[in-house]
Every structure is written in structure tokens, then in C-alpha cells.
């Protein structure tokens, strides 16, 4: 049986409206990453500030605190595809973990086009661009303070705002400036994200741009 940590506060039944002021905001620089912890029942919103920017999203379920060792349980696209019959989650549906547990519930979504098939690029994959950043590297750097010790610990992401059905890249332009997706945490979580640096063939509009993550909760973790 999986042991669950108690939430840092009791989940609130309050409905969060779009004009509520978040507890915390953070700008993730284009082509870079960010990681944070969030309590069960809290919400976070990823906003594409400039449009056409893909965000690789990851989540882990911690079993101990402080986070000395990276948890084994993480958000899994394979389990999510199984539960949703291969279709991306819509408002009210969930992503799932590799322990077959609900991880994130989609609360709001102004884009409704995302990807659950593509991996996070590994450093050096863009052979003609030495030193080009990658999403795996971004997440590895951001997650070291939460116990990640090897870049191969980065799993497959949920790619927010990415339109690649059946591995075919469609015309970008799905997310416009100000578009967002908002999630509620079904567990205490460590969340990581990367504002994808890949710009070949016009991906990410040809330029990696900043995104914002806003968090609503009673007490933001360090």
C-alpha cells in the first residue's frame, strides 16, 4: 500500500475565480526550467505570455519531507493514455501516475490542444546547434534541489500547448498570448516545467519565450 503524506493544509472547497489573486507567481524564462512543490487541493495555472510556446510539464508524488531523495512515483503519460483511451484530458479529467493514481485534474483550459506522446529532448539532440538547451536539461537543473541526481530520472512529459497528433507536427498557433491551462493537485506534489527551447522549423514560433506559473494555495512551499 502506498503511504501518503498528509496535506500541509486541508483542501478548500472555495471556488477559485479568474480574478482571485494567486498566492505566488513565477516567470519561467524562455528555454529554461522551474520546479516547485504544491499541496494537495491547491491549484496552479500555466499561462503562455506570448503565444505558441510549448511547456513540458512533470510531477512527482513525494513520500518523505524534506525531499532528500527523488520520489519513484511520478506523473505517467502511459497510464494517462490508458485511462483516457489515448485522448488528452479535458476539463474535469485527470492525469495519472505510474502507481495508477490520479495526479492532476484539469480545472480550466483555454487551448484544449496538448500532447502526451513526445519525449523531453535530450542534450545534444540538435546536432547542428551545439550548446542548444533541452527540456531534459532544464528539468534536471531545476529538480536537483528536490533530490534528482541523474538526468535520466526525467520521465516523459505532458506537453502543454503542443499540437502533434500521431507524431505529426501541425501548424503552430494553437496557444495565443494569455492562453492558459489550470490544474488542481490531487496529491502533495513536486512539479517541474520547461519552457521548451526547441526552435527548429518554426517550433515555438521560432523563438522560445517566457511563460508564467501562478499558484493558489494557503502556504507556498519553499
Residue 18 lies in a domain: no
pLDDT computed for residue 145 by the predictor: 92
Sheet (strand 94-97) strand order: 24-28, 211-216, 43-48, 180-185, 102-109, 94-97, 75-76
Give the C-alpha separation, 33 to 31, whole Å.
7
- The whole-number pLDDT of residue 127 equals 56
Domain limits at 47?
26-216
57 vs 68: CA distance, rounded Å: 21
Position 186 in a domain: yes
Residue 14 in domain: no
What grid cell was written down for 130?
Answer: 551545439
- In the chain, how many domains are there? 1
Q: Is residue 97 part of a domain?
A: yes
- Residue 134 covered by a domain: yes
Series of mean pLDDT values for 10-residue runs along the chain (222 residues): 39 43 95 96 97 97 76 96 94 98 98 94 73 90 94 96 80 86 97 93 88 83 40
Question: pTM for the complete prediction?
Answer: 0.86
Q: Are 189 and 73 contacting, i.e. CB atoms less than 8 angstroms apart?
A: no
What's phi and psi for 204, nearest 5 deg? Answer: 60, 30
Residue pair 212/29 in contact (Cβ under 8 Å)? The answer is no
Strand 211-216 versus strand 94-97 pairing type: unpaired
Cell of 157: 512529459
In a domain, 13, yes or no: no
* Strand stretches in the chain, DSSP E: 24-28, 33-38, 43-48, 55-60, 75-76, 94-97, 102-109, 158-160, 180-185, 189-195, 211-216
Amino acid at each position: 500500500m502506498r503511504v501518503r503524506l498528509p496535506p500541509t493544509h486541508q483542501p478548500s472547497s472555495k471556488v477559485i475565480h479568474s480574478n482571485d489573486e494567486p498566492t505566488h507567481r513565477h516567470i519561467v524564462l524562455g528555454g529554461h526550467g522551474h520546479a516547485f512543490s504544491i499541496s494537495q487541493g491547491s491549484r496552479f495555472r500555466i499561462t503562455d505570455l506570448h503565444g505558441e510556446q510549448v511547456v513540458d510539464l512533470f510531477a512527482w508524488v513525494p513520500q518523505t519531507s524534506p525531499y532528500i531523495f527523488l520520489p519513484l512515483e511520478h506523473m505517467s503519460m502511459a497510464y494517462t493514455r490508458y485511462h483516457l483511451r489515448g485522448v488528452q484530458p479535458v476539463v474535469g479529467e485527470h492525469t495519472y501516475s505510474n502507481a495508477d493514481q490520479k495526479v492532476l485534474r484539469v480545472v480550466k483550459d483555454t487551448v484544449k490542444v496538448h500532447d502526451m506522446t513526445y519525449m523531453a529532448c535530450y542534450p545534444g539532440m540538435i546536432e547542428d546547434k551545439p550548446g542548444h538547451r533541452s527540456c531534459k536539461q532544464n528539468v534536471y537543473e531545476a529538480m536537483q534541489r528536490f533530490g534528482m541526481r541523474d538526468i535520466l530520472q526525467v520521465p516523459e512529459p505532458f506537453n502543454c500547448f503542443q499540437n502533434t497528433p500521431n507524431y505529426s507536427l501541425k501548424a503552430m498557433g494553437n496557444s495565443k498570448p494569455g492562453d492558459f491551462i489550470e490544474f488542481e493537485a490531487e496529491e502533495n506534489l513536486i512539479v517541474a516545467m520547461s519552457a521548451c527551447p526547441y526552435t527548429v522549423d518554426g517550433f515555438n514560433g521560432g523563438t522560445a519565450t517566457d511563460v508564467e506559473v501562478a499558484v493558489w494555495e494557503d502556504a507556498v512551499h519553499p
